[in-house]
Amino acid sequence: GAGVSQSPSNKVTEKGKDVELRCDPISGHTALYWYRQSLGQGLEFLIYFQGNSAPDKSGLPSDRFSAERTGGSVSTLTIQRTQQEDSAVYLCASSLDRFRVNEQFFGPGTRLTVL
Residues forming the site for another protein (CB under 8 A) = 3-4, 31, 33, 35, 41-45, 48, 56, 91, 93, 95, 97-109
Q: Which is nearer to another protein, 82 or 104 (CB)?
A: 104
CA distance 93 to 113: 21
How would you write the chain as a 3-class SS string? CCCCEEECCEEEECCCCCEEEEEECCCCCCEEEEEEECCCCCEEEEEEEECCCCCECCCCCCCCEEEEEHHHCCEEEEECCCCHHHCEEEEEEEECCCCCCCCCEECCCEEEEEC
CB of residue 43 to another protein, shortest distance in Å: 4
Q: Which is nearer to another protein, 30 or 82 (CB)?
A: 30
Q: Which is nearer to another protein, 83 or 102 (CB)?
A: 102
- Asked whether 32 and 92 are in contact (CB, 8 A), the reply is yes
CB of residue 34 to another protein, shortest distance in Å: 12
CB of residue 14 to another protein, shortest distance in Å: 25
Q: Which is nearer to another protein, 15 or 62 (CB)?
A: 62
CB of residue 35 to another protein, shortest distance in Å: 8
